[in-house]
């Protein structure tokens, strides 16, 4: 038996072979390069062309950055330093213009002794927006979010502290009116009262109340006019204000366009189509020039406020269409399920429909916000000095006449940081909601 077995089995292994590493070409960086860069003839050709383009760009850009000059008082001095160090024909970036004028690019004509106020305002804004953006922060911090707009106004513009306090009191009055009317007259009457009563208060009582409190206790900061705003401070104020205000307005317009009420539907459609059908620059010129013709003589309507209103309305029209797309993407069963639970219209929208529609609409909403923030540079055409406008003013001076790329690199980098941050938060929020959905 054993002889037959020995003749039929040539080799019997009695020990295990040690684990061997995979071939170099099948793991790690080599595998990734083969699969992604040289997986075929066309991919290989495109890789070679791309590497050549990158080499050409880097070979020209690197010397310009490596020889950059940061300490000089003018473009002429920059060139003298370049000639003495790397030669007259060598490329060298004159970033000394950023060192010399960065305060102007960031703060515009804001009084230098009050630079701390925009900085503190930015910190307050970041602290106030954190409870809205991130879930782990205690909900009590939302009180800071509610108070932040009035604190930011007091910091940036200054003046008597009682003005923002009187305006904030109007929202408190509206909330009290809503809570009082809700059990007595129903939801619709409570909402109308919460809108009409504060409007009457702001029109007729807020100003005299603020003036009376100021005469009794003149507390506040030095007033800074809107014309002194500029640079990135101006872009951030306009952009952030329009973003925060346009989102709820855009949601209401989207709901109005989906509404079965004839008047509400047609007004929403007309507003959205008219606003979206005209370029933003035309609306900015309207805010700057034409709006004054429709105001009573002697009315002083701040230009920055007019721009914020127009940019908000423009952004809201686009947000409305993005949200409407999210509402249309929901299955009809979601609406029917909300009705089967006995929820009224606003309850179903708040608890079931809008959370899902906004989740679907996150990429489009953030994309609109990014475009809106970049479009704040258009205000240069109506006389407000954003970073682009200030770069033109800086280049008009005799010291820095001839500087171009250095200013635009700095401005582009600042806008990139802000827009990239919004994009990354959008990705974070999408992934977070996907995990929660699972």
Q: Tokens for 254?
A: 């989207």
- Say what the pLDDT of residue 25 is: 56
Q: φ and ψ at 88, to 5 degrees?
A: -70, -25
Furthest C-alpha separation in the chain: 120
For residues 118 and 107, the answer to whether their CB atoms sit within 8 Å is yes
Q: Tokens for 385?
A: 């000095």
For residues 214 and 162, the answer to whether their CB atoms sit within 8 Å is yes
Per-residue pLDDT of the chain (438 residues; tens, 9 = 90+): 555 555 565 666 677 777 777 665 566 687 888 888 888 889 999 999 999 999 999 998 999 999 999 998 888 999 999 988 888 888 899 999 999 999 999 999 999 999 999 999 999 999 999 888 888 788 788 888 889 999 999 999 998 999 999 999 999 999 999 888 888 877 778 888 888 999 999 888 888 999 999 898 888 899 999 889 989 999 999 999 999 999 999 999 999 998 888 898 999 999 999 999 999 999 998 888 877 776 666 667 788 888 999 999 999 999 999 999 998 888 888 888 888 888 877 788 888 888 888 888 899 999 999 999 999 999 988 888 889 989 988 988 888 988 889 999 999 999 999 999 999 999 988 888 876 555
Q: CA–CA separation, 343 vs 337, rounded Å?
A: 9
- Say what the pLDDT of residue 296 is: 67
Q: Tokens for 299?
A: 């009315």
Q: Tokens for 33?
A: 């390069």
Among candidates 149, 161, 173, which has minimal Cα distance to 223? 161
For residues 280 and 353, the answer to whether their CB atoms sit within 8 Å is no
- Say what the pLDDT of residue 103 is: 92
Domains of the chain: 24-98 (no CATH), 104-110+226-437 (1.10.3720.10), 159-221 (no CATH)
Q: CA–CA separation, 147 vs 245, rounded Å?
A: 15
Q: Which residues of 279-300 are buried (b: 16+ CB within 10 A; e: fewer)?
A: ebeebbbebbeebeeeeeeeee
For residues 315 and 372, the answer to whether their CB atoms sit within 8 Å is yes
Q: CA–CA separation, 66 vs 397, rounded Å?
A: 26
- Say what the pLDDT of residue 121 is: 94
- Say what the pLDDT of residue 112 is: 92
59 burial (CB, 10 Å; 0-12 / 13-18 / 19+) is: exposed
- Say what the pLDDT of residue 26 is: 64
């Amino acid at each position: 038996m054993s002889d037959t077995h020995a003749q039929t089995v040539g080799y019997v292994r009695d020990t295990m072979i040690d684990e061997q590493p995979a071939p170099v070409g099948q793991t790690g960086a080599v595998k990734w390069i083969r699969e992604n860069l040289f997986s075929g003839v066309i991919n290989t050709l495109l890789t070679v062309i791309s590497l050549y383009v990158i080499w050409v760009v880097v070979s020209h850009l690197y010397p310009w950055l490596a020889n950059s000059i940061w300490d000089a008082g003018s473009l002429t001095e920059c060139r003298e330093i370049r000639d003495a160090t790397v030669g007259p024909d060598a490329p060298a970036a004159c970033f000394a213009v950023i060192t010399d004028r960065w305060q102007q690019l960031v703060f515009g004509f804001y009084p230098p002794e009050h630079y701390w106020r925009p900085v503190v305002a930015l910190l307050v804004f970041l602290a106030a927006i954190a409870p809205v953006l991130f879930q782990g922060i205690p909900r009590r911090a939302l009180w800071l979010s509610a108070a932040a707009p009035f604190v930011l106004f007091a910091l940036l513009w200054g003046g008597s502290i009682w003005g923002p306090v009187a305006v904030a009191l109007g929202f408190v009055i509206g909330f009290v009116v809503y809570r009082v009317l809700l059990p007595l007259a129903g939801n619709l009457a409570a909402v109308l009262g919460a809108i009409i009563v504060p409007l009457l208060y702001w029109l007729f009582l807020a100003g005299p109340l603020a003036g009376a409190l100021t005469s009794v206790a003149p507390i506040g900061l030095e007033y800074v006019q809107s014309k002194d705003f500029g640079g990135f401070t101006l872009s951030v104020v306009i952009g952030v204000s329009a973003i925060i205000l346009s989102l709820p307005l855009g949601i209401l317009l989207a709901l109005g366009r989906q509404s079965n009420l004839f008047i509400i539907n047609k007004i929403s459609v007309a507003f959205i189509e008219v606003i979206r059908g005209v370029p933003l620059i035309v609306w900015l010129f309207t805010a700057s020039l034409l709006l004054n013709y429709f105001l009573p003589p002697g009315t002083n309507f701040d230009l920055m406020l007019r721009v914020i209103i127009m940019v908000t309305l423009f952004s809201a029209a686009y947000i409305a269409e993005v949200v409407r797309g999210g509402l249309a993407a929901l299955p009809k069963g979601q609406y029917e399920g909300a009705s089967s639970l006995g929820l009224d219209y606003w309850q179903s929208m708040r608890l079931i429909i809008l959370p899902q529609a906004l989740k679907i609409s996150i990429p489009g909403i953030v994309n609109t916000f990014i475009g809106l923030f970049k479009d704040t540079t258009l205000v240069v055409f109506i006389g407000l000095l954003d970073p682009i406008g200030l770069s033109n003013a800086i280049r008009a001076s005799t010291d820095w006449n001839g500087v171009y790329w250095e200013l635009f690199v700095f401005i582009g980098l600042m806008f990139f940081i802000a827009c990239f941050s919004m994009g990354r938060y959008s990705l974070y929020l999408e992934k977070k909601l996907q995990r929660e959905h699972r």
